[in-house]
Amino acid sequence: MKTETFDPVAISEQQFNKAAAYITGLKAGLIDYLKYPNQTHIIHFPVEMDDGSIETIQCFRVIHNRIFGPSKGGIRYHLDVNQAEVTSLAKLMTWKCALVGIPFGGAKGGVVCNTKVLSQNELQRITRRFTFELSKVIAPQSDIPAPDMYTNEQTMAWIYDTYNGLNPGHNNYPVVTGKPIGLGGSLGRREATGLGCLFATQQFLSKALIPSILELKDTRVAIQGFGNVGAVAAKAFYKQGAKIVALSDSSGGIYSEQGLNPYEVMAFKQENGTVVGVPNTKIVSNEALLEVDCDILIPAATAFQIHHANAKQIKAKLIVEAANNPTTPAADAILQRRGVYVIPDILANAGGVTVSYFEWVQNHANEQWALETVNEKLQKKMAAAVDLVFDYWQNYSFSPNDALIKASEPNFRTIALVIAIKRVADATLLRGIWP
């Protein structure tokens, strides 16, 4: 069996190189510059655990690019967090913000820890110390964290409070987004990524590229990951009449041909800690979930779930990448050959950073927008970004290989990256390289 790399930096470079090759006139030195992070912070600090023992915690904050404005990116708490993963996710943020037209650059943070075994007090001590260590890096106008896997509004509240204590006398709310509503958070932020996936999918389906899926009603949807993003997406698609046939979390997945009610699944998970075991469902593994008979597959968990070995077995006609980096380049090529469309991560899950930006704007103005205002603006941003990528895909002249791309590449990832990289490259040159 052909092997492939799961190195996130190598993969992001492959994707970048493929897209950059389609942009004429990019100087080699500029391409090189855009591949590297602007700053990488690797931090170790001690934390006292509840039982009196001391543990060393390793953390990262990578700032990839700030051409368009302050760097923006979530903070992930997970045992698998490492520098390569955080770096590739920081790059993804740069392209995501550039693609949807948000005046932010890209960053990402990660803390190597297992939130499932840490107490709230331990999590609070880790978060506050991490914020202290980053207190000269993060700031409302330079670098702005947000939630990601296994971090939430409470984590953001601790970050805000610690930073505010270190920088008294200023409006520090914009230093972090994804805060609780009662502490400068935006209405709709928690739901933004999942809802953004819905808006992106609706706009994509309106292009009628997939004749058998012209609307969501009765469309069969499978979702891997039932956390913040996956659960919200499940509810949003369900409300549109889609049939949610499979759902999963880190303990495994469930399948029902008749369709699942995500509200009932959520109630079950709250009581039992997992979706596995919901009555009248068949248990499936997370691997098997990706291959169930469905129309739309939404990976909403971790990276590289769709790879060379399983891409041929995927039955979905459309993959909506709620998670970051869920598909490897080898899988992309297979899916493309098979005519499976992919709404790539930098487009599909851009709703989160979009409403983070709205939160930041509200914080600066000391305002709180109505939920309808937030969602209406989100819907417009997502639809405009899908239109942009679709129009490029249909009409943009890529020069030498133009015919080849149009004839053989239903590849929205490359097109989205072309738009984003070109925007960042053009802005870099407009600002000028000095001294």
**Which residues have a catalytic role annotated?**
108
Q: For the CA atoms of the chain, what is the radius of gyration?
A: 21
Stretch that binds ligand NAD, among 63-71, 208-216, 223-231, 417-425 (CB under 6 A): 223-231
> Which residue from 34, 138, 298, 323 is in contact with ligand NAD, where contact means CB under 6 A?
323
| Minimal CB distance residue for ligand NAD | 227
Measured between its terminal Cα atoms, the distance across the chain in Å is 51
Q: Which of 174, 225, 329, 344 binds ligand NAD (CB under 6 A)?
A: 225
Question: What is the per-residue binding string for ligand NAD in 335-374, x denoting contact by CB under 6 A?
Answer: --------------x--x----------------------
Q: Are 379 and 308 in contact (CB under 8 A)?
A: no
Smallest CA-to-CA distance from 411 within 381, 383, 379, 389 is with 389
Judged by CB under 6 A, the chain residues 128 through 187 that form the site for ligand NAD are 147-150
Q: Are strands 71-77 and 39-48 parallel, antiparallel or unpaired?
A: unpaired
Q: What single-letter DSSP state applies at residue 185?
A: P
CB of 293 to ligand NAD, least distance (A): 19
What phi and psi, each to the nearest 5 degrees, are found at residue 276? -70, 125
Q: Element (H or E) spanning 53, and its range?
A: none
> Which residue lies nearer to ligand NAD by CB, 140 or 196?
196
d(CA 125, CA 58): 14
Among the listed ranges 51-59, 214-222, 248-256, 385-393, the one in contact with ligand NAD (CB under 6 A) is 248-256
Q: Angle 28-32-36 (CA atoms, 0-180°, nearest 5)? A: 170
Least Å distance between CB 405 and ligand NAD?
A: 27
**Residue 379 within binding range of ligand NAD, rule CB under 6 A:** no
Residue 325's closest CA among 6, 17, 4?
Answer: 6
The whole-angstrom separation of Cα 90 and Cα 94 is: 7
Q: Least CB distance from residue 312 to ligand NAD, whole Å? A: 20
State in angstroms the smallest separation of the CB of 151 from ligand NAD.
8
**Which one, 349 or 375, has the nearer CB to ligand NAD?**
349
Q: Which helix (H) or strand (E) covers residue 243, if one does?
A: strand 243-249
Which span (18-26, 30-38, 319-327, 378-386) binds ligand NAD, by CB under 6 A? 319-327
**Given candidates 34, 62, 223, 229, which one binds ligand NAD under the rule CB under 6 A?**
229
